[in-house]
Structure 1
């Protein structure tokens, strides 16, 4: 995946930015051991173009502990290393492509059979009638992940393209992820990468939701109404969905629903965007919320993260005690119990650790608070439940 690189920059090419004590080469990776002559978080930004001209990506890593406020400790020798690796050649990422195609297939299938009430087994080619649902779902998830990707590339952090996760049930997918392969140079970079995904995804979610609420409803076929189903899913709207419904009604572009009609499936893509956004903003581990809180409060993030599993388990217990048992034997409390276990593992693994652990500026702190407020607007304690069919 790497193109042939030229000879790496000479130590003299880094003059004024990084003082090189020694150069080490392992295969195609070149390490310049030394100390910055500018603030550490500015090093890779200052030298990015220099290394790019030679066909290399570069990142700064610390190899010795820092003193107070990130200052160098005298007498310990060089404390940093510039790591240069050949630039990705932009070859076809076959795994990403395969997962994307599989997720397109699963969302088309679920959308057609579950939300458009199309008998896919009888008319397989009608699966493509569900393209609005698939485009909306993958658009919301993809824009969220591309927000992370763009912010990471801006800060010179090595990151993969999104990996979509196919899941042929309910929504057709379990989301998408990217893999951050390089070190994160600073708290500012960590914050920008963490916050870019939820904000970009929420913009896409709002657009998709408004479009969906303005589309004509779907007629539920008689075979479904009289099909003898024992149970059904009932979805509950978070505050953001309710606010967008009010906006659509105020603009006069909403639609009315008859007794045998259902909301357009595109709306469920918006609902999923809100649900995934809230989960991603849990302030624990490597989730987006964990990145944002780690950037804002530093190492105290681990204390906050430790409380998250307890809160989720408490919510699960409350719902278990206060809500009626569903017809198939397990309720929404199991969702939060599962996320309590998952959050426990994330908290144990710990958060991302930026190379330079400097204090975040006030503007980014304010933006982080706004992002969490939007995340709360995407929350409902009972996002869905299983009920006896009417």
Structure 2
């Protein structure tokens, strides 16, 4: 076989020749492409070659090109390259959408009479942006710690109910091992819950607001964690008609609702990452039970509890959504060793806290 020149960067060919017999190496911009034949199954190959590329500063994937196997290596980049304009624009848009919904629905301001009253809803906007932003930044910081390429948070502005559909980060790098998968998965809910408890506590001490008739179209169901915080602080949650909790408390409610949904142990949700790290491939069995549980909850609320129809729809929708993401499957770490007992305990505690954020009827039409 002809001698193959090693690339200027990246691992030399003989570093993994026992697992992938290279017969050609090309460069494609800053990417390295190794053409060859695997001598071990794909999963084992990636476990063998990934550390060799990672120590040289590359992320590697096994792919097929015109019928040939290739290892495609790209430089690892976990920093911020320039100003993330998309993230900035979406964050600003979300500030305005949360100001709008806060002003109209949760404070009951008449923007037609006083357009500048929009900005008086800033406490609601800060509360929402804080609980969602801290949640996603928890993921981002831990991704940087484990050198997994991830984007900054993308906020999703939607001018309904709370002014946003939440926030997400985009994971672009591979998970090195179960430890990284667990740490990144659990960091969001725990960081978000710290922010949520802080926001809720502040909101409980703020005065209630007077709401004009019909201004707030929904009643909220309070989860056990929110009720417990009200009890601990000695503050009120329920008020006479025409008054409601301060909208900052609604920001805390959003944080709890988002935490519960994200901790569903299915697919690429935070709960799916955590359970995949804790239980390995058994996560798929657990995930298969989640849609059934959500459909059963929807059926119970509709046929037995005679609950608000929107609650039934909510859990039926999430049953369908959970089915789709369960089918897509969880993240798969390169190295699949079990995590330690401390992380197992933290994972169990996280799910207990998530359960305290659950209420069967989160939202009901007022009146």
Q: TM-score, normalised by structure 1?
A: 0.79
The answer to whether structure 1 residue 107 and structure 2 residue 71 are counterparts is no
- Alignment root-mean-square deviation, CA: 3.1
Unaligned ranges ≥5, structure 1: 1-6, 52-57, 64-78
Q: 2:74 aligns with which of 78, 84, 96?
A: 84
Q: CA shift at 1:94, angstroms?
A: 2.1
Partner of residue 149, structure 1: 140
Q: CA shift at 1:170, angstroms?
A: 0.9
Aligned counterparts of 2:341 and 2:48: Cα–Cα separation in 1: 20
Q: CA shift at 1:62, angstroms?
A: 6.9
- Provide, for residues 215-253 of structure 1, a one-character-per-residue CA deviation record: whole Å limited to 9, x for no partner: 111123xxx23x6x8x9422111111111112211xxxx
- Is the 2:50–2:60 contact (alpha carbons within 8 Å) kept by the matching residues of 1? no
- Provide, for residues 301-329 of structure 1, a one-character-per-residue CA deviation record: whole Å limited to 9, x for no partner: 11111110000000000000123465xxx
Partner of residue 347, structure 2: 368
- Is the 1:109–1:127 contact (alpha carbons within 8 Å) kept by the matching residues of 2? yes
Aligned counterparts of 2:138 and 2:191: Cα–Cα separation in 1: 6
The answer to whether structure 1 residue 19 and structure 2 residue 15 are counterparts is yes
Distance 1:97 1:188, change over 3 A: same
Distance 1:169 1:10, change over 3 A: closer
Q: TM-score, normalised by structure 2?
A: 0.84
Partner of residue 68, structure 1: none
Partner of residue 240, structure 1: 225
Aligned counterparts of 1:285 and 1:212: Cα–Cα separation in 2: 34
The answer to whether structure 1 residue 196 and structure 2 residue 192 are counterparts is no
* Count of residue correspondences: 341
Aligned counterparts of 1:113 and 1:233: Cα–Cα separation in 2: 13
- Provide, for residues 191-234 of structure 1, a one-character-per-residue CA deviation record: whole Å limited to 9, x for no partner: 111000000000000000000001111123xxx23x6x8x9422
Unaligned ranges ≥5, structure 2: 1-6, 64-68
Partner of residue 4, structure 2: none
- Is the 2:230–2:236 contact (alpha carbons within 8 Å) kept by the matching residues of 1? no
Q: 2:259 aligns with which of 272, 277, 280?
A: 277
Aligned counterparts of 2:357 and 2:80: Cα–Cα separation in 1: 39
Q: 2:31 aligns with which of 17, 29, 32?
A: 29
- Is the 1:8–1:30 contact (alpha carbons within 8 Å) kept by the matching residues of 2? no
Aligned counterparts of 1:116 and 1:107: Cα–Cα separation in 2: 12
Distance 1:113 1:8, change over 3 A: farther
Matched residue SS, 1:332? helix
- Is the 1:194–1:288 contact (alpha carbons within 8 Å) kept by the matching residues of 2? yes
Partner of residue 70, structure 1: none
Partner of residue 3, structure 1: none
Aligned counterparts of 1:274 and 1:31: Cα–Cα separation in 2: 46
Q: 1:296 aligns with which of 278, 289, 292?
A: 278
Which structure 2 residues correspond to residues 261-276 of structure 1 after superposition, within 5 A? 261-276=243-258
Q: CA shift at 1:61, angstroms?
A: 5.2
The answer to whether structure 1 residue 342 and structure 2 residue 324 are counterparts is no
Matched residue SS, 1:198? helix
Which structure 2 residues correspond to residues 300-319 of structure 1 after superposition, within 5 A? 300-319=282-301
Q: CA shift at 1:256, angstroms?
A: 8.8
Partner of residue 3, structure 2: none
Matched residue SS, 1:284? coil
Matched residue SS, 1:180? coil
- Is the 1:331–1:385 contact (alpha carbons within 8 Å) kept by the matching residues of 2? yes
Matched residue SS, 2:233? helix
Partner of residue 118, structure 1: 109
Aligned counterparts of 2:70 and 2:179: Cα–Cα separation in 1: 19
Aligned counterparts of 1:301 and 1:352: Cα–Cα separation in 2: 10
Distance 1:107 1:62, change over 3 A: same
Aligned counterparts of 2:328 and 2:311: Cα–Cα separation in 1: 26
